[in-house]
Structure 1
């Protein structure tokens, strides 16, 4: 009965493990992983709480206003935008942070880093194991023996049969000092099914304790893998937070770039219409003999070039719009139109630079950039690896304790004879005689530390250069705006004068062509400078480290500024 009870217990345990469904394992992994992320999230300023990776969110474009206008400057692409959902910048940011495939991949990288940490933590908790096996054994008489029995008339040899069952239960606990405690219970049970039916059992309970005394001794050495896993998760949290800032700026920048391409198509269309009007007038003058075919031909060539620039601008706009749809997580066939009012909004904000001087901005970037903190921490990681490599060059000396309790001498299943327990204690040592690989690892660790130190210095310079670059780009855009604004005013007067002179027959065709082309170019440059300044300003706050992005992708920039 005792045998049956033990097998019943093992069967129940096995059944319970099998009963754990895949969804239960998935839930357990998610619970531990998100808890690990939540524990470290407060250590990173601006870290989002929205890091779930399995949320199923469908894009519903019917919630947005629908475009009903046909824009002539889009030519044969105009009707395609009718019925398209009008997407504001805030809506585009929200869509991107909810549906972007690249953003989802970044969340998954964060999740996987935290998932890996759960295993490193698990290693320092008691772990259990249970396994077993069962065999049915028999022997058969071969044909030679049968023939010999038939010839001699000997009595037939009976076949022997038996069943063998083995079980093993174990527990193990790793100590942060480098030691380990293990407990193992084994049982082997044999039942003979032929001849004299009998049972026989052997078993043992073995406990051990191992503690390094020199090499691998101490929590600093033993828990290095756990410490590095903890720090790697912190680094990934910083990377994810930094990525969110970069992604928000990327979405906003591409949004404005697409609007700029749209405005460029509009400007080129306006320039083409003006050129065609001039061409019609000159053709009428030529019919009356007031101008030459040469002058008309110059305007015709200018009209062809303007038409080509217009077609290219439309293509550029539509290509940018298609790429933008993919960026924010939409499908290529989704029909959207970006909100022209966003251009008005950034124009109204003016061309003022942030209210902070350059030296202060660089100092703030050094203090706030998360990627710079990670570079500095990685120098510390490299320093610890030197200590680990040096430890591997030391003598190995391990203290061992072992207790073995045998099974019952009469073969009773599950019975142990504690009074016959055997105890042993000893020392194991390993002299570092064959340590060429360890020597090389130590030298490599020293070099890696130097590399990490130089990497931090380079990263520090890169942060400063990022701030300088965006600062200069803001100044360049502001100067470009002033020049382009003046250029638009000048060229509007030039076009007006050229038109008046042409109407009274005193105009010069080259002046008409040049003034109209220059006006179109100045208008495009004016819009481009506004967009460039706004993008450079966003990149400046990002690179200074003072761009804080919400879960919907909207940001607060600077100290007192907000979107």
Structure 2
């Protein structure tokens, strides 16, 4: 009974510690979450400034075990063709296609303007959430690396029973060995460690001839140092590089995420402007259809009265059919564009959405191509990362070159035991009984072929990074020049189309006055020209807004606030602007 009574408390203590650690799992996860968010926010504040994203939380899914997780053959559904549930529909008459889109009167219709689209995307867009998760994963990698460079504590408890059976008699002892220590990486290579060991022995049964004490206990302090002096030493040590690269990777991730936010805003704005353009085209097409229907009715009446030949009425009716066909196609394209937006910003595809037209005030920009290129080469976050990648490649070359050196390591160990003459040594250490070793280990570099190969590969990668950095500079310069030309072209086309609308509106007024004396061709031609001019004008207005945003993005001057709103550059803010300049949205009167 004595062994059981002695071992039971230790087993119970071990189980209690395990249960405590299990209960503390959620708290550990919460602390890890807060630490990652703090690191991201600190790095964003230093790299991006106060306009950086404020919401850094990443949802944590609940992964519950189930039987299908461990099956070798997950089920596949592939119904045979004969069993597919598809029925042939009976012949039906062609029904009129609706010419008016849903007006948003359904109770669950989601009404969105540009700000609503951006807010919805920040919360639910799959692409946005994936980028946030990538940033969070990079932060977790940095947390692990920082932890590796902090003091790493360890503790073990080993329990074992030893017996030496003899004829009719034996010794049986329970021994417990506990250790507690820590290791620490050194800033320029090498490690230092310290540990305390406690050895406790209790004889459960003793042979009659045994003279050992019933119990014994001893302890020992151990210190060790491993310090490279040549290969693997200094800032070019491979172990030091992991920390440097992890810290820089987080900066790259922060820049990449901010660049994504800016591109994401421009993409959503482009999609919104495109939807507004499509709405305008639908409105114009419906107006034209009604005009064609009126003209067809007029010429049909004239033909029946014998004042116009019937082919003129048939020609007018043909124009009505073409206009209806065009309207149906435009409606379908608009619905497809809405569905694509739903997928992009994370809205259920079955939920109706109404796009609210608003007037977007995008200020005009004074263009200077050379100055714009200079600004872009300074402000573009992705180009800054490309330049830093060149520095990473230089460090890789220096690290590979360091690996060509011979090994020369300093090793030192120090052990301090307790008094070996005492049955219970406690923590009374005897320096006089301690021992130490100090030595140098020199490794002759007889085989360095792999290291020379790695060194040559690092040089090639450096040359590649330098070349890619130069190519990226040239690419950005071309992108900026194209953006400048796009604005100039959009301005010019908008002026032309506004003039074209004025001309065709005056033509339409004259045609309306003299409609009875003209044939259907003249009436229809001017109506089509007016529709085309209005559509081209709306498209030119949309292109100009988009080209200005694309210019700001190309030059690195696009700034997005923490709430997803565009922050206009200071020079574009009007004197009477509010403190939160950005997209000035007011309900459209058109």
Normalising by structure 1, what TM-score? 0.83
The Cα shift of 1:277 comes to 1.5
Paired residue for 1:78, among 102, 108, 119?
102
- Match of 2:570, SS? coil
Give yes or no for the alignment of 1:492 onto 2:505: yes
Structure 2 counterparts to residues 416-495 of structure 1, below 5 A = 418-495=431-508
Residue pair 2:45, 2:52 contacting (<8 A) in 1 also: no
User: Which one of 122, 126, 139 corresponds to residue 114 of structure 1?
Assistant: 139
Q: What is the aligned counterpart of 2:56 among 52, 55, 62?
A: 52
Deviation at 1:294, TM superposition (A): 3.3
1:287 is aligned to 304
Q: Hey, what's the Cα distance between the residues in 1 that align with 2:228 and 2:547?
A: 58
Residue of structure 2 aligned with 1:208, choices 205, 218, 224: 224
Task: Look up the match of 1:96.
Answer: 121
**Counterpart position of 2:24:** 21
Give the C-alpha shift of residue 310 in structure 1. Answer: 0.5
- Tell me by how many angstroms 1:441 deviates: 1.1
Shift of 1:335: 3.4
Cα deviation, 1:91-137, whole Å, max 9, x if unaligned, reads 33333334433223222222222222222222222211012233457
Q: 2: CA distance between counterparts of 1:294 and 1:202?
A: 116
| Aligned-residue offset at 1:418 | 4.2
Task: Name the structure 1 match of 2:75.
Answer: none
Equivalent of 1:332, from 349, 370, 379?
A: 349
Aligned to 2:390: 379
Task: In structure 1, list runs of 5 or more residues that go unmatched.
Answer: 57-72, 142-155
- Which residue in the other structure is 1:265 paired with? 282
Summarize the Cα distance change of 1:138–1:279 in structure 2 as closer, same or farther, 3 Å threshold. farther
1:62 is matched with none
Deviations 1:406-447 (A, max 9, x none): 566468466565432221111222222222221111111101
Alignment coverage as a number of residue pairs: 523
Please show how residues 90-489 of structure 1 align to structure 2 within 5 Å.
90-135=115-160, 163-194=174-205, 196=207, 198=214, 204-221=220-237, 222-340=239-357, 342=358, 344-346=359-361, 353-406=364-417, 409=420, 412=423, 415=426, 418-489=431-502
Cα separation, 2, equivalents of 1:363 and 1:169: 59
Alignment partners' CA distance in 1, 2:281 and 2:425: 87
User: How far 1:35 moved relative to its partner?
Assistant: 3.0
Find the aligned partners of 1:308 and 1:374 in 2 and give their Cα distance. Answer: 51
Distance 1:238 1:122 in 2: 24
- Secondary structure, counterpart of 1:515 in structure 2: helix
* 8 Å Cα contact 1:74/1:265 also seen in 2: no
- 3-state DSSP of counterpart to 2:153: strand
Query: Could you tell me which residue of structure 2 aligns to residue 64 of structure 1?
Result: none
- CA drift of 1:256 comes to 1.2
Q: Which stretch of structure 1 is more off in the superposition, 164-173 or 252-261?
A: 164-173
Cα distance in 2 between the residues matched to 1:134 and 1:318: 72
Aligned to 1:518: 529
Residues 482 and 24 (structure 1), Cα distance of their counterparts in 2 relative to 1, 3 Å cut: same
How many angstroms apart in 1 are the aligned matches of 2:198 and 2:371?
A: 73
| 1:312-370 alpha-carbon deviations (Å, 9 max, x no partner) | 11112122223323433433334332222x1x445xx6xx7402422221111112111
Q: Which moved more, 1:471-480 or 1:73-82?
A: 73-82
SS in structure 2 at match of 1:549: coil
Give distance in 2, aligned partners of 1:436 and 1:211. Answer: 25
Q: Residue 262 of structure 1 contacts residue 314 of structure 1 at CA under 8 Å; is this kept in 2?
A: no
Question: 2:20 & 2:147 partners in 1: Cα distance?
Answer: 19
TM-score, reference length from structure 2: 0.80
- Name the SS for the 2:482 alignment partner: helix
* Contact 2:367 2:484 survives alignment (8 Å): no
Q: Deviations over 1:223-267 (max 9, x none)?
A: 222111111111111112222211221222211111111211111
Equivalent pair of 2:176/2:201 in contact (CA under 8 Å): yes
